[in-house]
Amino acid sequence: MKKILVWVSLVLACGSALSQEALPIGETIVHDPVMIQQNGTYYLFCTGHGISVFSSKDMKTWTKQKPVFDAPPAWGKTVAPDFKDHIWAPDVSFHNGQYYLYYSVSSFAKNTSAIGVATNKTLDPASKDFKWTDHGIVVQSVPNRDLWNAIDPNLVIDEKGTPWLTFGSFWDGLKMVKLTPELTKIANQPEEWYTVARRERSFSLEDANPGDAALEAPFIFKKDNYYYLFLSWDYCCRGENSTYKVVVGRSQSVHGPFLDANGKDLNQGGGTLVIEGNKNWAGVGHNSTYTFNGKDYLVFHAYEIAKKGRPVLTIKEITWENGWPKVAPMN
């Protein structure tokens, strides 16, 4: 129960009342942040009521905008009966002349979950073309059928132009599935599925007791000849007791195998550490990775221990050593 209450408080923080006050990055409360740039403005989406949105001109100060959804998707309760409007872990990208926003609907600590997608021609709310259109479910997990969880989506387009959706949490690893060119459905000619990362777990198939199998939040970033799979190990959503950390592996193929710097397969528990918490910070994770203006960035949330574990936006520049990402440790 304590774990669930902590999660609810974080969701409420990310989805709090709309404010036009510009806040510095260290005061911007977010969870599961993703980012994109349009016409000189950065837009950040995160877990929250109707999907929380922030904007910034410099990635240093952020202003809260109107949520993506005024009302929760009507199909949400068919997936998770206790669903209201807390929507998790979005992913944003631009393809086919429009913006695609994938998002998760789920019951906490269960694999009653689904990933939906909405599209918009622009992210500028002042534009006459601004309108989010929901396309419903892309992929759904069903208890007693699927040993995976349909949350934490990330879209990647490979070098051949083929779209893939990575996703997943705990259970039997992080998954990848091929999508149609419209990016709204699973491709079925043929269906292609892969497990891209996995850790051994106990006999229990409950998220509340995964043994050492806790992993989630995949994000694939293409750099030179490699696809880099970033993911979060261990536990989110426990405030100052959160143990999240970011690890990475790489592959020359979009669906792996992804190997860490020591050559260990991420499907065998491999992962090279990118960043973790310390005495001042906990739960450092759920990252996304981008190139803006010629520089690479790691975007993630981190729980500030001195302020009772509130999750704040953190952005760090990535440098590369021998083909591996490096970021400065948390202060």
> What kind and span of H or E run contains 62?
strand 61-65
Closest CA relative to residue 220, chosen from 190, 192, 258:
258
> Residue 165: exposed, middle, or buried by beta-carbon count in 10 A (0-12, 13-18, 19+)?
buried
Active site residue: 32, 207, 260, 304, which one? 32
- Tell me if residue 152 is catalytic: no
Q: Taking the alpha carbons of 15, 19, 20, 26 in that order, is the dihedral positive or negative?
A: negative
> What kind and span of H or E run contains 2?
helix 2-14
* DSSP symbols for 82-114: T-SSEEEEEEEEEETTEEEEEEEEE-TTSS-EE
d(CA 150, CA 165): 11
What single DSSP character describes residue 206? S
Length of the chain: 331
- Tell me if residue 32 is catalytic: yes
> What kind and span of H or E run contains 78?
helix 76-79
> Residue 184: exposed, middle, or buried by beta-carbon count in 10 A (0-12, 13-18, 19+)?
middle
Backbone angles phi, psi at 216, to 5 degrees: -165, -175
Cα distance from N-terminal residue to C-terminal residue, the chain: 31
d(CA 198, CA 172): 6
Residue type, 15: G
Active site residue: 216, 260, 276, 304, which one? 216
Going from the C-alpha of 122 to that of each of 38, 62, 118, 156, the distances in angstroms are 8, 19, 12, 20
Catalytic residue positions? 32, 216
